[in-house]
Every structure is written in C-alpha cells, then in structure tokens.
Amino acid sequence: MLDRVPGEVNLYIGGLFTLKRKEALKEANITHVLSVLTLPLDKALFEDYQHLAIDIDDDEDADIIQHFPACNAFIRDGLHGGGGVLVHW
C-alpha cells in the first residue's frame, strides 16, 4: 500500500524506493510522478509516467518556493486528468 495524502484526491507521497513498487503504483492509478531530489535518476523508472524532476538539495537554505508554481501545475494536471500523482524525494 502507498502513503495516500488524506482527502478526496489521488495524491501520494513516498521515498525513492516507492517507484519500484510497480503493482502498487498501478493499483493506485499513478500517472504522474514528481521527483524532488538531487540524485541521478534511472530514467527507466519513469517510462510509464509523466515525470517532473525538481533538482534541489534537502537543505534549509534551498529556495524550494520558486518551484511551487510548476509543481502545483503538474500535480493539478495529473489529478484533473483522472490519474494519481506520486510525490517522492
């Protein structure tokens, strides 16, 4: 089972290894994946999904706010398109 954000939307959060749980992602109807991390990513993990990668350090001085408009639009597109969204770090 994936960690679903409370509410009516199909929005999930998880770590990098959540992407390896293909059957759980399919059951949750995940169509969009938002990655928020600086690690190099294996593109094969994202073949079946719309993907947005935000390259930012997990640091209190990082300006994550500048990425909110793009992230919000990406999440909204996924949810309004009838799919589910996984946000992972």
Q: Is the dihedral of CA 47, 48, 52, 58 positive or negative?
A: negative
Q: Are 2 and 18 in contact (CB under 8 A)?
A: yes
The yes-or-no verdict on residue 80 having pLDDT over 80 is yes
Within 10 angstroms of residue 2's Cβ, the number of other Cβ atoms is: 15
- Token readout for 79 is 């949810």
Q: Which residue from 12, 16, 47 is spatially nearest to 28, judged by alpha carbons?
A: 12
DSSP, res 5: P
pLDDT at 40: 79
Note the pLDDT tens digit of each residue in 3-56: 999 999 999 999 888 988 999 999 999 999 999 988 778 888 899 999 999 998
Strand partners, 18: none
Residue 56, helix vs strand vs coil: coil
